[in-house]
Amino acid sequence: MRNLAKIAIAASSLLLLPACDKSQHSKADGVDTAAIQTMLRDNETRWNGLYKARDAAALAAIYANDAALANPGAPLVEGGPAITTAVGQFVADPNLDVQFASDRVQVAKSGDLAYTRGHFTMRSTDPATKQPRTDTGNYLTVWQKQADGSWKAVEDFVVPGAPPAA
């Protein structure tokens, strides 16, 4: 009976080795997707702070030179200079208050692409009434690892809608 238990334990251990090998292989490749997820969440926390500071230059620097930005009711903005202009106009709104947070962060196993999906609340000036209004919605940002190791937004799509259920 003892030998049967030892054999069962040994067999179970052998079954677990491939899982251990995959984990070690991932670390050997230098891809720590959990660390990248944490870093992207930290990036978004910093991004929120830049909106509060109305730092247009730092906000525009979050995007890659060939990025695209889609905001509700606005035309698609593509490329660094156009994004810099659009972000500058956006933060010039005296009523602007943007708050957003990711609900999901996924990183490709290769460690070079990721996305954050989340929700936002934004106070801004209504262009028609010139009065403050509050909007809610969702966003999807695709991130790409850059040659220098930093992460830049390459696609940023914001859509109006109800906030997520609690």
Q: What pLDDT digit, counting tens, does each position of 44-54 carry?
A: 999 999 999 99
pLDDT digits (tens, 9 = 90+) for 47-93: 999 999 999 999 999 999 999 999 988 899 999 999 999 999 999 99
User: What's the whole-model pTM score?
Assistant: 0.79
Query: Which residues, in sequence order, are CB contacts of 86 under 8 Å at separation 6+?
Result: 69, 71, 74, 77
